[in-house]
Amino acid sequence: MQEAGTSLKQRVIRYLVGQAHHPRGIVGWVNGWMFALRPSNRQRNIWAVSLLNVQPTDRVLEIGFGPGIAIAEFTGRATQGHVFGIDHSQTMVRQAARRNSAALRALRVHLTQASVDRLPNFGDPLDAILAVNSVAFWPDPVERLRELRGLLRPAGRIALVSQPRCPGATRDTTVRAAQELQDLLTRAGFTHLRVETLELDPPVACVLAENSTGTP
């Protein structure tokens, strides 16, 4: 009986982890709304956007936009630019589209169901790229970052954000996650790296970097 209970618990955990990685169906929709309403998540996303110093005419991209909190924040800053977003969950695309419906109708926001290893065409070079708690799920993240660097204009900015969600995560967990992101960005050819920290529980690390040449 105890073994059966443990097996069920493991299946539930795997299901919930899978939903966090790729939200789908009613459960994915509910998780998205919970994520959007949780104050710490909203604070984390708005903070990350602020660090990218987005200008009114900027063209920006978010990878894994979830319910679209950061997309809305980008839209309020890039008032004459364009905001692009990709997410491999159709559930999240629909939810983010509802949250950003006016900007979508005005053709200022462009949301696409896509994965980071199959990027759509964004046209002209991008000024800034954001990814929050998604790099760990990317296939061959160094290669993906090289491809993203090729989409940025010279001196374009990228921000990779990590707030560890594993059980027992601490400040040390966040520090290690930040170091891993720095290593990936360095291997991909980004320069001028710096780390900012948001004091939540556990802390959030944002690793910022620049595309010094515009050539992968």
Asked whether residue 120 is assigned to any structural domain, the reply reads: yes
Instruction: Give pLDDT, residue 1.
Output: 47
User: Looking at residue 97, which CATH number applies to its domain?
Assistant: 3.40.50.150
Strand-pair partners of 206: 161, 196
Instruction: Give pLDDT, residue 35.
Output: 56
Residue 66 has which token pair? 């979830």
Tell me the residue range of the domain where 203 lies: 39-210
Instruction: Give pLDDT, residue 97.
Output: 96
End-to-end CA distance of the chain: 56
The whole-angstrom separation of Cα 94 and Cα 68 is 10
Instruction: Give pLDDT, residue 9.
Output: 39
Strand-pair partners of 111: 85
Spatial contact of 75 and 83, defined as CB atoms under 8 Å apart: yes
Total of domains in the chain: 1
Residue 137 has which token pair? 């799920």
Tens of pLDDT along the chain (216 residues) come to 445 455 543 443 343 444 444 554 455 444 544 555 566 789 999 999 999 999 999 999 999 999 999 999 999 999 999 999 999 999 999 999 999 999 999 999 999 999 999 999 999 999 999 999 999 999 999 999 999 999 999 999 999 999 998 888 899 999 999 999 999 999 999 999 999 999 999 999 999 999 987 455
Instruction: Give pLDDT, residue 8.
Output: 45
Which runs of consecutive H residues, i.e. helices, occur in 136-208?
A: 141-151, 171-187
Q: pTM for the whole thing?
A: 0.83
* CB proximity list for 154: less than 8 A, separation 6 or greater: 211, 212, 213, 214
In whole angstroms, what separates CA 8 from the centre of its chain?
Answer: 31
Asked whether residue 98 is assigned to any structural domain, the reply reads: yes
Asked whether residue 83 is assigned to any structural domain, the reply reads: yes
Instruction: Give pLDDT, residue 119.
Output: 96
Angle value at C-alpha 80, between 77 and 81, nearest 5 degrees: 80
Asked whether residue 27 is assigned to any structural domain, the reply reads: no
